[in-house]
Structure 1
Amino acid sequence: MGKYNKIIAIVAVLLITFSFLGCTQNLNSPQKSSTKEIVDMRGVTVTIPSDPQRVVIVDKGFILQSMVAIGVQDKIVASGGMLSSTNEKADDRDSLYLFPKILELPNIGYTFGGFNFETLISAKPDLVLWANSEYIKDNEITKEAMKKIETELKIPLVVINTPGAYDNPTMEKQYEGLMIIGKVFGKEKRAQEIINYTKSQIEMIYNRTKDIKDSEKPSTMYLGLRNDDSVGVVWGKNYGDAKFAEEVANIKNVYNEPNRQIMSAEQIIALNPDVIILATNSVLPDINILSTNSKYSSLQNVNAVKNKRIGSLGLLTWWGDFKLDYPTIMLISAKTVYPDKFKDIKVNKWVNDYHKKLYGLNDEQSQRLKEIQLLAWMDSNDF
C-alpha cells in the first residue's frame, strides 16, 4: 500500500510540474491581438479589428477595385456612393461588373443626397472605409458624417484621400492609399505587387515623354460634354479628370487654372486646343461626336476637331476618381497627345492584359470590361 501511495505522489508532482510549465509557456507565448492600429490619410491613428470581416465602403470606385484586386471584396456588407440609382446593372460600370454583389447590398447614401445612418447601423460593420475626393472633402455633410461615425456610432473609420483631395495631387498619394488598404486587410504583399506593377507602367509613360520640349507640346483640353446649353466641363491643370497629365505625361493643359469650368462653344474656340481628350460627363464620350453631331457644328474649325486629334477616356473617370485604371488613363492621354512616342503600343490590347493581371480576368471578361468602360473605340481605331 505504501508503494502505491508513493506512485500516486510522484504522478501528482509530475502533473503539477507540467501544469506549471504549461502556464509559464502560455505567459511567454505571444498572443494574437484582436485589434491593430492603422494611420489613415488624415494622419489619424485608428484602432481597427486585426481581421475586419464586415466592411462598409464610402467610395466611387478606388476602394472597391483595390479590394477586388487584393481579393477581399467579399468583406463588403454595404456601400455608399457606388450606386446612382436603384435600376443599375452590373454592365453599367466597371466597378459594378467587377463586384456585381454590391447591387444587392444596402446603400447608405453619399455626401450629395445625404447618409442613412440607420442603414449603416443595420449592416453591423466592424469598419468603415471612406474615400475622400476633391468633390466632397470640404462639404459639411462629409465632415458631419465622419464625426457621427467616429464619435457617436463608435465605428472605426479609416479615410483614404484620393489624390484630388490635396491642393497638389501627386501619383504617390494613389500608391499610399492602395498600401493603406493592403494594411487594413493584412495584404501588404499583394498591395505592393499592384503598386509595383502600376508604377512600372506609369514610369514607362513618364520616361517616353519627360524630355519633350515646351515648343513641341500641343495644347490639350480635357473636356466632358454636357446636355445643357454649354458644350461641357473643362478640367484645368492637375485637377479632376486632368490630374497627373503634366506630372506623368508632360502634357500641356490649354486651361491653366486648377479647377473645372463650364465652357461655351465660344470659350472653347478661343482656347483652340490642338488635342481634345473626352472624359466622363452627362454625354457619353464618343470620339466622333464632335464631328458628327450637329450640336457641335460651331467647333469644326477648332484645331483638334479639324485635325481629328481626339481621344476618349470612356468611363474610366467617375467623380474624379481614377480608381485602379490610372495607368490606363495616362497611357490613353499620352498616346493621344504624342502618338509617335507610343507607336509600338496597342492600348486596346495593353488594357486587356492590364485587367487580366490586376483582377485575374480571362480574355472574354477583360474584353467585356473594356466595352463597359466605353473603350472599344480603341479596337475599331487600332489605337
Structure 2
Amino acid sequence: MKKKLSTLLAVIIFVITILTGCTQTKELVNVKEDVADSSNSIKITDMVGRNVVLEGPIERVVAIGSALRLYTYVNGTEKLVGVEKGQQSSKTGRPYILANPELEELPLVGEGFPADPDPELLIDVNADVIIAGDILDVDQIEELQKKIGVPIVVISCGSSAVFDQDMYKALTIIGKVVGKEDRSKELIEYMEGCKTELTNLTKDIPEDEKPSVYIGALSYKGVHGIESTSGNSPALNVIGAKNVADEVGKPGSVMIDREQLIKWDPDIIVIDENGMNIVKEDYQKNPDYYNALSAVKNGEVYGQLPYVSYYNNIETAMADIYFLGKTLYPDEFKDIDVIEKADEIYTFMLGKPLYNIMAEKYGGYLNINLEKGF
C-alpha cells in the first residue's frame, strides 16, 4: 500500500513539474515575443515635431506630395504600394518618374499635383506607414491619420533647390523608416561632396573677373517668360556667381519689370527650358527688346534643364549648377564634361543616366540663338 502511495505521489509531482515547466516556458516565450516587438518599433520625430511610433519591420509604404521624389532617392520603388495619379506620368519630365516607370502600375491613392490623398484609397492599399511631404497642416494630418488608422510621418524637401539641411533631414527620416539609413547617409555625403567641389572650383575667382548673369523663365506655380527669375539663388550662390537679380533684395521667385533687365544688361543670360517656348514666342513679337541686350548681341544666351516640376528636382538642379559653372567660368571647369556629370548625378541619385531623355524633352545644355529659334 505504501509503495502504491509513493508511486502515485511521484507521478503527481512529475506531472506538476511538467506543467510548471510548460507554464514557465510559455511565459518566457511571451517575454521574448514582447522584446522582439519592442525592438522592431521605430520611433520617429517627424518634421512638424510629431512623435510617431511605427511597428516594424516596415514592408508597405505610401509616399505622397514631395515625399515620393525623396523616397525614390533612398529606396527606388521598393515597398511602395500606392501612388498619386499626378506622380505617374512620364510626360512631366520629372526624373524620379522617368527612372521609375513602374510607378504607373501601382494602385492610386489620390489625384495628387497638388497632393490630395483619398482616405478610402489609402485604406485599400493596407500600408504600414504614410510618408507625407509638404502637404496639409498638422491638424489635417492628424485627422487623416485617425480616418485611415495608419501612422503618418511628415517630412519636407526644404525651401532650397539644393543642399538644403531640411532635405537632408527628410532623407535621414526616410532611411530610418525603411531600414536604409546607410543609403540616406551616402546620398547626403554625395551631395555635400558636389557642393564642396563646386565651391572649391570657384572660390578663388576675383569678383572683377566674374561675368554678370541672369536666369530667366524660371517656373514657379506654372511656366513663365523672361521676367521670372530668382533672387539669392542657391544654384548661383554655391558657385559665387554675380546674379543681377540679387539687386531686388528678395530671395526666391521674383517677377521683374521687363525694362529692369535692359538696365541690368547682364553679360550672360540663361533661360530655363520650361519657359523656353514662351521666350521664343516673345522674341518673335519683340525682337528689338531682346536684341538690345548685350548677351543676345554677343551670343551669350544659354538653355538649362528645368528643375522645378511639382517641387524641386534636386538632381537636375545639381546638374544645372555644373553647367552654369562651366558657362560662367570655362577655365575653372575645363576638366568637367557637364553631360557626363549630369548622368553621374542622375545615376547616383536615381539609378539611371537620364540626361539624353531630359535633353530630348527640353533641349539640354546648349547655346541659344533666339533669332533662329534654337
Which TM bucket (shorter chain)? 0.7 to 0.9
Cα distance between partner residues in 2 of 1:300 and 1:184: 54
Compared with structure 1, are the counterparts of its residues 265 and 118 closer, same or farther at alpha carbon in structure 2 (3 Å cutoff)? same
Compared with structure 1, are the counterparts of its residues 228 and 89 closer, same or farther at alpha carbon in structure 2 (3 Å cutoff)? closer
Contact kept in structure 1, 2:215 and 2:229, CA below 8 Å: yes
2:299 pairs, out of 277, 298, 308, with 308
Compared with structure 1, are the counterparts of its residues 264 and 160 closer, same or farther at alpha carbon in structure 2 (3 Å cutoff)? same
Equivalent residue, structure 2, for 1:236: 231
Cα distance between partner residues in 2 of 1:255 and 1:352: 30
The Cα shift of 1:185 comes to 1.0
The Cα shift of 1:271 comes to 2.5
- Higher mean alpha-carbon deviation, 91-100 vs 222-231, is at 222-231
Compared with structure 1, are the counterparts of its residues 299 and 267 closer, same or farther at alpha carbon in structure 2 (3 Å cutoff)? same
1:48 partnered with 2:54: yes
Equivalent residue, structure 2, for 1:216: 209
Cα distance between partner residues in 2 of 1:325 and 1:10: 74
Contact kept in structure 1, 2:86 and 2:113, CA below 8 Å: no
Equivalent residue, structure 1, for 2:130: 128
Compared with structure 1, are the counterparts of its residues 307 and 38 closer, same or farther at alpha carbon in structure 2 (3 Å cutoff)? farther
The Cα shift of 1:316 comes to 2.7
Contact kept in structure 2, 1:290 and 1:305, CA below 8 Å: no
Contact kept in structure 1, 2:95 and 2:313, CA below 8 Å: no
Equivalent residue, structure 1, for 2:245: 255
Cα distance between partner residues in 2 of 1:366 and 1:115: 29
Segments of structure 1 that go 5 or more residues without pairing to the other structure are none
Larger radius of gyration: 2
The Cα shift of 1:314 comes to 1.2
SS in 2 for 1:46: strand
Q: Which amino acid aligns with 1:271?
A: W
SS in 2 for 1:36: strand
Segments of structure 2 that go 5 or more residues without pairing to the other structure are 369-374
Identity %: 23
1:31 partnered with 2:36: yes
Cα distance between partner residues in 1 of 2:11 and 2:139: 72
- Higher mean alpha-carbon deviation, 151-160 vs 111-120, is at 111-120
Equivalent residue, structure 2, for 1:99: 100
Equivalent residue, structure 2, for 1:192: 185
Contact kept in structure 2, 1:164 and 1:320, CA below 8 Å: no
Compared with structure 1, are the counterparts of its residues 335 and 8 closer, same or farther at alpha carbon in structure 2 (3 Å cutoff)? farther
Equivalent residue, structure 2, for 1:71: 75
| 1:239-263 CA-partner distances (Å, limit 9, x unpaired) | xxx33431x2212321122142334
SS in 2 for 1:103: helix
Cα distance between partner residues in 2 of 1:154 and 1:18: 37
- Higher mean alpha-carbon deviation, 201-210 vs 93-102, is at 93-102
Contact kept in structure 2, 1:91 and 1:372, CA below 8 Å: no
Q: How many residues align?
A: 355
Cα distance between partner residues in 1 of 2:330 and 2:15: 85
1:58 pairs, out of 57, 60, 64, with 64
Contact kept in structure 1, 2:223 and 2:274, CA below 8 Å: no
Compared with structure 1, are the counterparts of its residues 26 and 110 closer, same or farther at alpha carbon in structure 2 (3 Å cutoff)? closer
- Higher mean alpha-carbon deviation, 298-307 vs 336-345, is at 298-307
Q: Which amino acid aligns with 1:158?
A: V
Instruction: Please show how residues 140-179 of structure 1 align to structure 2 within 5 Å.
Output: 145-150=140-145, 152-164=147-159, 171-179=164-172
Contact kept in structure 1, 2:175 and 2:184, CA below 8 Å: yes
Contact kept in structure 1, 2:42 and 2:54, CA below 8 Å: yes
Contact kept in structure 2, 1:58 and 1:82, CA below 8 Å: no
Contact kept in structure 2, 1:355 and 1:366, CA below 8 Å: yes
Contact kept in structure 1, 2:60 and 2:127, CA below 8 Å: yes
The Cα shift of 1:110 comes to 4.1
Q: Which amino acid aligns with 2:203?
A: K
CA RMSD after TM alignment: 4.0
